[in-house]
Structure 1
């Protein structure tokens, strides 16, 4: 939903001169569709039904937002503001979704459930988009991705603090039995 909203935000009818926003989020949407396709291909029927339900809800939600945007607002500024608010909400939701994992890291003093590269990617992505937002002076991109960069930074700090206290997995394969 996040990429779909940002693509809609960047369209010339909403926010002119946002080619990079459209292009990069279209690539993100394509990657998401590839991931979902592989999940649907190899998942069981109950998971497929659940995913199709989520996809249908997202498309209906986007349709309602697009209809309201195009029907109620008639200037670029008004449309940008309306759709931008939704982009901020969903962007913050995407970036802050690891909050429960971050709390688990603090409680267990282990980064076992928080992948380093995912945290690094969130931080770098937030920083890149924040830089872009500052160059274009786009508040909607700045707010969502500034919070994203901050969230990624906090994850990296937690990783730096707790990576030494994380129990290491044995290098002995589970199929081999060691004799004393």
Structure 2
């Protein structure tokens, strides 16, 4: 299961602090969809306790982080910079995470461990956010989204190099 990713809530806070309506709307929708996903998953999940504990722990970490930013960093500009850095770290980790399967893809000489549609969606989303960040001259939006473009092209190259031949002994890994 993919747990609630702190990226949407972090970027929502960054957008609210900056007064950026685009960030607020997009990440509000993303946070609502993630919440809906978790609720549906919990409904069908046989191990609800583990998932609830993971979700509660993550929300606790987020609350501590937001408490730090809102209560202990009084300067608005400093708060915006620290929150931008916080958001950037989560975004970069999200874009780099599919490369964890890189060794498996090279070892099996099969790109079936990657989702082609997710690769295309990642490329389009990261390119859009990178261009948006360039337009606003906001490095906290531009810089962390650029790795999404790079990793998408790496995965597309792997799709080309190792065309998807079904391997009966291998199962799809979540990307």
Shorter-chain TM-score range: 0.7 to 0.9
Alignment length (residue pairs): 163
Aligned ranges 1:137-152 → 2 under 5 Å: 137-152=137-152
Q: Distance in 1 between matches of 2:120 and 2:149?
A: 10
Q: CA deviation at 1:86?
A: 1.0
2:38 matches 1:36 = yes
Corresponding position of 2:171:
none
Aligned ranges 1:91-106 → 2 under 5 Å: 91-106=91-106
Moved over 6 A (4+): none
Q: CA deviation at 1:132?
A: 0.4
Aligned with 2:166: secondary structure? coil
**Partner deviation per Cα, 1:71-98 (whole Å, 9 max, x = no partner):** 2223332111111111011111111111
Corresponding position of 1:154:
154
TM-score by length of 1: 0.84
- Contact kept in structure 2, 1:3 and 1:26, CA below 8 Å: yes
Bigger shift: 95-104 or 18-27? 95-104
Which ranges in structure 2 are unaligned for 5 or more consecutive residues? 1-5, 169-175
**Higher Rg:** 1
Q: CA deviation at 1:38?
A: 1.5
Corresponding position of 2:8:
3
